[in-house]
Amino acid sequence: MKKNIGFVSMDSSLAGWLYEKLRVSAPDTPSAKELMEGIGDLINGTAASLMIEVGENERMNPVSDTVCCGSLSIDLKLRRVIRDGREIALTPKEFDILYFLARNRGEVFTKEQIYQAVWESDYLLDDSNIMAFIRKLRKKIEPNPDAPEYILTIWGIGYKFNDRL
């Protein structure tokens, strides 16, 4: 059987970020613990490289196109959003913004970054456009739009999708 080996260079900031993500939200499996230990060894200098292998009988599942957060489910392939068992109708751009934020849960994005990710073009210096989309999204997906649970405002910076759901 032919073995494919790939090498990835990892700087200390990426290793630290990955270690923290694993510490907070990794599945409780021996493999996750072993990966966390290996990254810890890279960070503290007791290892210079790390080899990761997927067992012969195990297949890597493709990344799911569905993001589930609390009672909210966002399905990319069907472009459908469901909360508490009920489908929520969104415009294409509302869906794209929601999916982008939910897929990057916990990461803070400026209005410019959201615009560039969703419209895939240069920013037009119009913060009110993104603010209007966020306001409409909150009215549709939030149980209480005045006290949002899903899309949080980070004052002076932008928005993030709640990573504590």
- Tens place of pLDDT per residue across the chain (165 aa): 445 566 777 888 888 888 888 887 777 778 888 888 988 988 898 888 888 876 655 555 555 688 888 889 999 999 999 998 899 999 999 999 999 999 999 999 999 889 888 887 666 666 678 999 999 999 999 999 999 999 999 999 999 999 988
Domain with CATH 1.10.10.10 in the chain: 66-161
Would you state the pLDDT for residue 51?
80
CATH topology of domain 66-161: Arc Repressor Mutant, subunit A (1.10.10)
What's residue 108's pLDDT?
94
pLDDT computed for residue 124 by the predictor: 67
User: Are the C-beta atoms of 36 and 22 separated by less than 8 Å?
Assistant: yes
> Side by side, which strands form the sheet with 158-161?
109-110, 158-161, 151-154
pLDDT the model gives residue 129: 86
User: Residue 94: what are its φ and ψ, rounded to 5°?
Assistant: -60, -45
CB 159 within 8 A of CB 108: yes
Write the burial class of residue 100 (CB in 10 Å: 0-12 exposed, 13-18 middle, 19+ buried): middle
